[in-house]
Amino acid sequence: MHDDRTLVEARLRRVLDERIRPAVYPESVPLRVAVWHAPGEPVPVAEGLAAEPEPIEVGARWGAPWGTSWFRVSGTVPRAWAGKTVEALLDLGFDENMPGFQCEGLVYRPDGTPVKGLNPRNQWVRVGAPAAGGEEVVLHIEAASNPVVLDYHPFRPTRLGDRETAGHEPQYTLTRMDLAVFDESVWQLVLDLEVLGELMAELPVDSARRHDILRAVERALDAVDLQDVNGTADRARERLTGVLSAPAVPSAHRISAVGHAHIDSAWLWPLRETVRKVARTTSNMTALLEDEPEFVFAMSQAQQWAWVKEHRPEVWARVKKVVAQGRFVPAGGMWVESDTNMPGSEAMARQFVHGKRFFLDEFGVENEEAWLPDTFGFAAGLPQIIRAAGSKWLLTQKISWSQTNRFPHHTFQWEGIDGTRIFTHFPPVDTYNCSMKGSELAHAARNFRDKGRARHSLAPTGWGDGGGGTTREMVAKAARLRDLEGSATVVWETPRAFFEQAQAEYPEPPVWVGELYLELHRATLTSQAKTKQGNRRSEHLLREAELWAATAAVRTGFPYPHEELDRIWKTVLLHQFHDILPGSSIAWVHREARATYERIAGELDGIIGAAQRALAGAGDRELVFNAAPHGRAGIPAGGAGACPPSGRTSLASRAGGGYVLDNGVLRVEIDARGLIVSALDIEAGRESIAPGRAAGLLQLHQDFPNMWDAWDVDEFYRNTVTDLTAADAVQAGPDDRSVLVTRSFGDSRVTQVLSLAAGERRLVIDTEVDWHETEKFLKLAFPLDLHAERYASETQFGHVFRPTHTNTSWEAAKFEACNHRFVHLEEPGWGAAVVNDSTYGHDVTRTVRTDGDRGTTTTVRVSLLRAPRFPDPETDQGVHRFRHALVPGASIADAVREGWRINLPERRLTGAHDVAPLVSADNDAVVITAVKLADDGSGDVVVRFHEAHGGRARATLTAGFAVADVTATDLLERPAGDTEPPERDGDRITVRLRPFELVTLRLRRA
């Protein structure tokens, strides 16, 4: 038999494109269109509906960047269409390749009832099947002219990312506004042929199944009269019945399809636009659920649900109805799909507290899965947090983006730093925007790494990034793929159903220990420094506000600000979304974030000040309040008292230029260049700085990644470096314990203050940078005379170890990594730490000296600033202030303590008397991360703590009030059924913790 396969396949493509798809709408008439352009920010729906529009023609330009236009379309259904299905086709000027990245709309009836969303892949609105014709149709469209920021030439600098700089030129051309007859038979034929054509392309060329489909497609095409597609569509479909009904083989890969619309809470659009994106998508999905009884849709991010409730109550009513049916599923149990590398311990816990509580309060739904398809890697402390929140599963897809190493599993147990394991799934479809294409399903089946032991995976199905979710075409394709020979099988299921089946099928999956590091997007640990500083500052201010307000409430009856703290926490959690905190959003987002963080700081400072004044009472004694979890200078953790006098630091000139700082604990030499050439641990007699090297060294790199400018730093950035050694001035500071250094480079200027406080084992480096570089990367280097094969970085509720070497590609790929408050290195008997108040990115490298002592130099470099030009062309321009400290001779305990101290400076207040801690621990290894009143308003005191040094710990917690009862709880402050009750003797509670164990206790006051 002659091989005509390519001929038939080419015929299928052309006939579909040029004859069959156009016949889905065989008849149409134009609608009348008028438009009103809102003058500023979006207006309430009632105002948009009531506005008086002006006529506009198809073909006209409309929509200034970030504008809102209200279209009114009206027309009459022709009487000749009686009994036919009629739809309005509303094309605002869409590019079908950009769902989620351009203009969108929400359609309303004249009474304000939302109908559905419009986007490039969803341009139709069902009018109905008029009995007689002649019916009048009136629809209103709230259209958002969001500009295309990520264009076909991506990553080019653009001013479109902020309304203040985007200009006023219309962005779109009104393309089609028609009433049309919808021919369902032709539409079904299109889906038949698409599914078979896509399946055929994935089968081996020599397989019998492929040729069976080929011949059936050929017969169907023969049955189509190209001049009467509508009259012959049913006949063509009959020719396909056989190949569409052939069942899948028993060993076929099984896919749980979950309707999905990954909506970034902010990214290439501002927060206010996400509020509307969510309304459009939920309107679409509730409408689709009404039409498709087997369809299931899942939406994560409690914040987005809360936006619908607050801003679109008419949509919320529809959402609640389908949630009650179990088909519109609250997923993930987090406030937003946050970054998981940078949020602090308490913030990561509160993501689950607020997310899960919202779904419990609104729907009675207990989420057992964490749903994070797009997050840029996962910190090793996360499994314990997920478990402590009452959840047990994790889904993500992003690790498939790793550039260097292919992750070895798709279904596995992920083990965190404390030994907690979480059943985890990476969808092998390798997208969180699956559209039910044959190529996607075939890839999932081929790609699944756990074949032979499991055959079940999940496919998040729908247009994401604000693109509107699942379409009726995807649902129709899934119906054909339920049980089809040659394909993976597809069934709509909830995330819970998938995880229960997958876990039952694979009860002993492989185990991955430690962080899930994404070998991509490493620069998100540094981009948009002020957003990151705002987050860190807010986290610590919230700790202080809860601590002092709770203490004052118990001691003085101070009104605990439940509502204010709840609102502020939710705002901070929102800004931890995985494109805000990582610095990968447009300028508008970060401009608003900076203002939000400043407002939050003011509110929290007010709460802290009021609580401290209530505690201190009226008096003229100078009191020092210590919010850190360790005592300092005689002030207990969580308490206040008079600060005893300290020793002194001497400042002397150094031979050869520069200065020497000495406080009896450290002796630090700063040379004439303003660089640290010696940091001697006096007690140990140990030099910290590697011979011939200098610390506190600023290093500047060229930084132009191959793509994803704000997200990525590529390893070749290290190939060129400029050491900023020239100083404009090096002089003694205004006191007797500091040295002031100024430098200029490029268009920028740096001021550093190096200070050594009396009695302290830390040299503090305050760096102010007036930054005006572009496509540069600024690092702060500490070359240490220390031999260490691994180092510790703080993460949530503990620390994670990473190697200093690059023996394998896995280690080499971690050339930029995340830490929270400290990085610690140690060799037996001696260590050092670098602590910070607001930075996350860093690298650690090692070299062996070839001359002299042939010792090892291990260099810690802190990442300070970048200057990418996409998506914000002015990223980080301006003045920045950072605080770091070098801690020679530090153990891991010292690193933990100094990391807290640099982030929680003392507060001084005049008052009458000392303040005893509300709750204290007698073991520094047990770190109290939160002291607060219970969220339910009961007045119970909640204390959360963990073992922080990586070993077992026993501690006595002492409550500074009468305790009636103690209960171990989960993060939501509910009794933890699997936890032994703690030992209590009056107001003293004995706890025993395994390494890095997290515990929450609820103390009922007597």
| pLDDT of amino acid 946 | 98
Alpha-carbon torsion, ordered 175, 176, 182, 187, to 10 deg: 0
Mean pLDDT of the 266-287 span: 97
Q: How far apart are CA 594 and CA 598, in angstroms?
A: 6
The answer to whether the beta carbons of residues 902 and 614 sit under 8 Å apart is no
Q: Which of 183, 374, 662, 671 is catalytic?
A: 374
Mean pLDDT of the 228-248 span: 98
725-752 pLDDT, tens digit per residue, is 999 999 999 888 999 999 999 999 999 9
User: What DSSP letter does each residue of 530-549 carry, written as one string?
Assistant: HHHHHHHHHHHHHHHHHHHH
Q: In the predicted model, is pLDDT for residue 129 greater than 90? A: no
- Max Cα distance, the chain (Å): 103
- Which residues are CB-neighbours of 734 under 8 A, at least 6 positions away? none
Q: How far apart are CA 547 and CA 20, in angstroms?
A: 68
Note if 374 is an active site residue.
Answer: yes
Give ∠ CA 840-844-850 in degrees, rounded to 5: 160
Mean pLDDT of the 342-371 span: 98
- How far from the centroid of its chain's Cα atoms is residue 360's Cα? 22
| pLDDT of amino acid 226 | 97
Split at pLDDT 50, 70, 90, the class of 134 is confident
Long-range Cβ pairs for the range 713-722 (8 Å, 24+):
713/522, 713/523, 713/526, 713/777, 713/816, 713/866, 715/815, 717/777, 718/815
Q: Where are the alpha helices (DSSP H) in 128-258?
A: 184-202, 208-223, 229-238, 241-245
Q: What is the DSSP letter of 337?
A: -
Q: What is the DSSP letter of 807?
A: S
Q: How far apart are CA 822 and CA 892, in angstroms?
A: 9
931-974 pLDDT, tens digit per residue, is 999 999 999 999 999 999 999 999 999 999 999 999 999 999 99
Mean residue pLDDT across the chain: 97
The answer to whether the beta carbons of residues 586 and 269 sit under 8 Å apart is yes
Mean pLDDT of the 592-596 span: 98
What does the chain come to in residues?
A: 1006
| pLDDT of amino acid 1 | 63
Long-range Cβ pairs for the range 800-808 (8 Å, 24+):
800/379, 800/380, 800/381, 800/417, 800/514, 800/515, 802/844, 804/844, 804/845, 804/846, 804/858, 805/846
Q: How far apart are CA 719 and CA 714, in angstroms?
A: 10
962-990 pLDDT, tens digit per residue, is 999 999 999 999 999 777 788 999 999 99
Q: How far apart are CA 931 and CA 998, in angstroms?
A: 14
Split at pLDDT 50, 70, 90, the class of 851 is confident
In 3D, which of 333, 337, 428, 424 has the Cα closest to residue 374? Answer: 337
What single-letter amino acid sits at 348? M
User: What DSSP letter does each residue of 481-502 carry, written as one string?
Assistant: TTT-TTS-EEEE--HHHHHHHH
- Which residues are CB-neighbours of 667 under 8 A, at least 6 positions away? 660, 661, 678, 679, 680, 682
Give the three-state DSSP class for 264.
coil
For the record, the structure tokens of 698 come out as 């600023």
Ranking 97-101, 351-355, 445-449, 820-824 by mean pLDDT, the lowest is: 97-101
| Cross-strand pairs, 622 | 910
Cβ–Cβ contacts within 10 Å for residue 88, how many?
Answer: 24
For the record, the structure tokens of 598 come out as 């400043």
29-39 pLDDT, tens digit per residue, is 999 999 999 99
In 3D, which of 820, 821, 823 has the Cα closest to residue 831? Answer: 823
Whose tokens are 């301006």? That residue is: 878
Mean pLDDT of the 434-460 span: 98
Q: In the predicted model, is pLDDT for residue 133 greater than 90? A: no
Burial class (CB in 10 A: 0-12, 13-18, 19+), 205: exposed
User: What are the backbone angles phi and psi of residue 76, rounded to the nearest 5°?
Assistant: -120, 130
| pLDDT of amino acid 321 | 96
Q: Where are the alpha helices (DSSP H) in 51-183?
A: none
Q: What is the DSSP letter of 828?
A: T
Q: In the predicted model, is pLDDT for residue 848 greater than 80? A: yes
Q: In the predicted model, is pLDDT for residue 881 greater than 90? A: yes
Cβ–Cβ contacts within 10 Å for residue 207, how many?
Answer: 12
Cβ–Cβ contacts within 10 Å for residue 265, how many?
Answer: 28
For the record, the structure tokens of 144 come out as 């958002």
Percent of the chain past pLDDT 90, that is, above it, reads 97
Q: In the predicted model, is pLDDT for residue 201 greater than 90? A: yes
Whose tokens are 């050594």? That residue is: 756
644-701 pLDDT, tens digit per residue, is 777 899 999 999 999 999 999 999 999 999 999 999 999 999 999 999 999 999 999 9
487-535 pLDDT, tens digit per residue, is 999 999 999 999 999 999 999 999 999 999 999 999 999 999 999 999 9
Q: How far apart are CA 606 and CA 150, in angstroms?
A: 41
Q: How far apart are CA 914 and CA 912, in angstroms?
A: 7
Note if the pTM is more than 0.85. yes
| pLDDT of amino acid 338 | 98
- Which residues are CB-neighbours of 880 under 8 A, at least 6 positions away? 529, 530, 533, 768, 769, 771, 864, 865
What single-letter amino acid sits at 952? R
Helix (H) or strand (E) holding 465: none
70-126 pLDDT, tens digit per residue, is 999 999 999 999 999 999 999 999 999 999 999 999 999 999 999 999 999 999 999
Cβ–Cβ contacts within 10 Å for residue 491, how many?
Answer: 16
Q: How far apart are the first and last CA of the chain?
A: 91
Give the three-state DSSP class for 197.
helix
